[in-house]
Amino acid sequence: MSLFVIDRYLGDEVDSTEDRAKALLEKLHQQAKVRQLQLKCKEQKVKAVSKSHSEEEVVDTVEIQDHSEDSEKRKKSKKRKKTFNDETSVEEVNPGLDAEPEVDNLKAKKPRKRKINKDEQEKSISQEAEAEKKEHKKKVSKREAKKSSSSESIHSEDAKPVHKSKHKPGDEKSGKGSRAASEDTKVAPKKNESAEVEVSTTQNEKDGGKKDASVDPNFLLLGGFEAKPVQKVLPVLPQWLAKPNLVQKDIKQNLVSIHDVPYLKPNMLKKMEANKVKSFFPVQAEVIPAILHSCLHGFLVGRGGYRPNDICVSAPTGSGKTLAFVVPIVQVLSARVVCEVRALVVLPTKELAQQVCKVFNVYADGTGLKVVLMAGHKSFSKEQETLVTKKSFGFCSLADILVCTPGRLVDHIHKTEGFTLKHLRFLVIDEADRMIDTMSQDWLPQVINAAYKVEPHDQGMLFTRKMPGVPTAANYGQLQLPLQRLLFSATLTHNPEKLQKLGLYQPRLFTSIYKQPKSNTPQDQNGPSTSENFSLPAGLTHYYIPCNLNSKPLILLHFLLTLRFSRVLCFTNSRESSHRLFLLIKLFGGVNVAEFSSRLTPGERKKALKEFEQGKLQLLISTDATARGIDITGVKCVINYDAPQYIRVYVHRVGRTARGGTAGLAFTMLLRIQEQRYMNMMRDAGVPKLHKQLVLNDNLRQYEQRYEEVLSQLQRVIKEEQAQKRC
């Protein structure tokens, strides 16, 4: 019989956990022992009856186990074999009874059993056997029902091993352990187990698996592997971008007396008054003290690991950003003893570099500071001469403040002997968004490498600068010069990915583009959006003029000749278009006009700008070369003869008027086909309402005849120019 048991077990060995099998076997073992005790007390006849019952029971039990162990796939067969070999000593098995109570019963009944007669014994045994049989049948039917049930019953099967795996192997050896093991299949799980059970059960219910009535409530239900809705990941801006320092847009309403701005020295205040600057514009009132504060503890040495915050400024065109860096740099550097390049200002164009250099010269006058322009306006060798000089003891710098374009700067870094940026304290990047776009030229990493370059003879020197790394005591134990980056633009990107290219250190953002969060949603709490959203001068009024290709030049002539607009800056999208329009207006006559584009030599461009500024020209026709940063006083009106393709271009073009808190007009000529796209672009960028300016055909008729004549002349002139070019 026992051999049969073993064979059946081995043959049908299937999935269940080791623990569960052990516990079950332990239970069977106990029951067999009890049975043995009982059998010893019984007569031979009774034994035979009992044996026949037991045989039936064993078959049942084996069947039950076959069912229950269908899921025992992970059990190792070796171990299993061993366990069942041990079991071979069990002659009879009665799996339906709980072991322990039976033993107790037996102990109590033993003395009495001797007295009861054979019939009574037989009766009681057959009753017992019947009861056992019924109980087994019940269990078998339950298990079968469970097996046939859906995924829920699979979960319940899975649950059992989890529950049982909590047993300590040692416990199973003792009787107590065996009871614990047997009880464990029915008793509610311990604290953390119950959590698992509850979660899985509720999940199961949630998942729509209606609880099968046939499932034993004592079994664990695990599972709930249903796909859950994936939460959308919202972009979160870094704190410095999400919560910037707000700069007021309206200049006139927010002027701050120069005496109310902290950290300014009397010398500087005097100089400002001498230049008729009595109040600071909002951006200056915010940024100047911030830069000066970062230099309070000496501009040369970063003590105890001190490294100043980098500063980013995004303020409208004409809001005074230039003075916001010129004033603090000049004040701080005027305390220097030895002339070294301590401030480097990088700008995208020659004209801009010249303009900024001029402002530095005004404020550095009388301080002993040397301001040098390096933008390709002189030959390379002449620039080298203005940068360094060779003395008996080595090279000496001739510049404290260097204003340059990136191309020329990189050339000098590599080719000018004795030129060093090792003492650089301020790196100013004006028109920073444009400069980020030109980062593909790799100029910034080259500047940074030059600033942190350590030459052999520098080793062990007091202020040798190391490339900033992890802030440790060792890294900051040494005194060194801090390098601070200052970024300025009217259209500075708020895109952290782009700004990351600049390797900013704990930056502070000063901006006039800031939307207060409307709600508590995470999107709104992120502060300004990273989408292209710009602020424009408060004094600027925007118009658009619906037109067609033929009426465009006539409308311009109407503005100049009839409406008598003066100091008009007119933008086209290409230098060819610029030149053609310039020739047309010139041939038409009656307007003082000049052009500004890369067709002209730097000298011709300079002359054109100067004459326009002096009011000698009524109209300056330009490409986007003058769109950025150029500060021409008195520009009353900007006309976009060709509609700009990008919002940044629009912002910079129209920003040539309404500067420094003054009023200005911006007109854009739009073909019917361009209108919708243009309006969408303006709306998305948060540009204030555009006014429609209609020009009646009647007003243009007076120019039509002359215009026809000029067109034929224009063809001829252009042909001549092309012929000259070929020669």
Residues that bind ligand ATP (CB under 6 A): 277, 279-281, 284, 317-323, 490, 629, 631, 633, 655, 659-660
If the CB atoms of residues 400 and 431 are measured against ligand ATP, the closer one turns out to be: 431
Angle between helices 2-11 and 44-68 (to 10 degrees): 0
Q: Is 632 exposed, middle or buried (0-12, 13-18, 19+ CB in 10 A)?
A: middle
Q: How far is the CB of 324 from ligand ATP (least distance, A)?
A: 7
Burial class from Cβ neighbours inside 10 Å (0-12, 13-18, 19+) for residue 254 reads: middle
| Residue 22 neighbours by CB under 8 Å, 6+ apart | 83, 172, 181
Range 190-194, long-range pairs (CB < 8 A, 24+ positions): 190/166, 193/162, 193/163, 193/166
In the bound complex, what is the minimum distance in angstroms from residue 320's beta carbon to ligand ATP? 3
CB of residue 351 vs ligand ATP: minimum separation in angstroms?
12
Task: Name the residue among 409, 402, 396 with its Cα closest to residue 370.
Answer: 402
Cα–Cα distance for residue pair 174/100, rounded to 1 Å:
12
Q: How far is CA 614 from CA 611, 629, 633, in A?
A: 5, 18, 9
Closest distance to ligand ATP from the beta carbon of 401 (Å) = 16
CA 702 to chain CA mean position, Å: 58
Nearer of residues 490 and 625 to ligand ATP, judged by Cβ: 490
Complex with ligand ATP: residue 280 or 707, whichever CB lies closer:
280
The answer to whether 13 and 20 are in contact (CB under 8 A) is: no
- Number of other residues whose CB lies within 10 A of the CB of residue 726: 6
CB-nearer residue toward ligand ATP: 121 or 322: 322
Q: Which C-beta is closer to ligand ATP: that of 64 or that of 330?
A: 330
564 Ramachandran zone, left/alpha/beta (phi>0; psi -120 to 50) = left
Q: Which residues contact 86 (CB under 8 A, 6 or more apart)?
A: none
- Nearest-angstrom CA–CA distance, 18 and 588: 102
Least gap, CB of 503 to ligand ATP (angstroms): 24
Q: How far apart, in Å, are the Cα atoms of 359 and each of 193, 272, 277, 327? A: 76, 12, 13, 10
CA-angle at 693, arms to 661 and 685, nearest 5°: 55
Nearest distance from C-beta of residue 578 to ligand ATP, angstroms: 20
Residue 657 Cβ vs ligand ATP, minimum distance, rounded to whole Å? 10
Looking at beta carbons only, is 318 or 527 nearer to ligand ATP? Answer: 318
Q: Which amino acid is at 513?
A: I
Which residue number, 355 or 397, has a Cβ lying nearer to ligand ATP? 355
Q: Bridge partners of 388?
A: 397
38 versus 322: smaller Cβ distance to ligand ATP: 322
CB of 628 to ligand ATP, least distance (A): 7
Nearer to ligand ATP, 95 or 318 (CB): 318
Q: Closer to ligand ATP by CB, 136 or 321: give it.
A: 321
C-beta of residue 59 within 8 angstroms of C-beta of residue 120: no
Give phi and psi for 279, each to the nearest 5: -130, 155
- Please, what is the minimum distance in Å from the beta carbon of residue 512 to ligand ATP? 11
Nearer to ligand ATP among residue 318 and residue 539 (C-beta)? 318
Q: Of the two residues 316 and 527, which places its CB atom closer to ligand ATP in the complex?
A: 316
Q: Strand, coil or helix: what is 429?
A: strand
Distance CA 381, CA 715 (A): 43
Query: Cα separation of 316 and 513, whole Å?
Result: 9
CB of 627 to ligand ATP, least distance (A): 9
**What's the token pair of residue 204?**
């199961």
- Which C-beta is closer to ligand ATP: that of 99 or that of 283? 283
Beta carbon of residue 236, minimum distance to ligand ATP (angstroms, whole number): 29
Straight-line distance from the first to the last Cα atom of the chain, in angstroms, rounded to the nearest whole number:
117
Distance CA 35, CA 223 (A): 39
CB of 280 to ligand ATP, least distance (A): 5
CB of 276 to ligand ATP, least distance (A): 7
Three state DSSP letters for 66-131: HHHCCECCCCCHHHHHHHHHHHCCCCCCCCCCCHHHHHHHHHHHHHHHHHCCHHHHHHHHHHHHHH
Length reported for the chain? 727
Q: Which is nearer to ligand ATP, 277 or 718 (CB)?
A: 277
Q: How far is the CB of 681 from ligand ATP (least distance, A)?
A: 20
| Residue 487, helix vs strand vs coil | strand
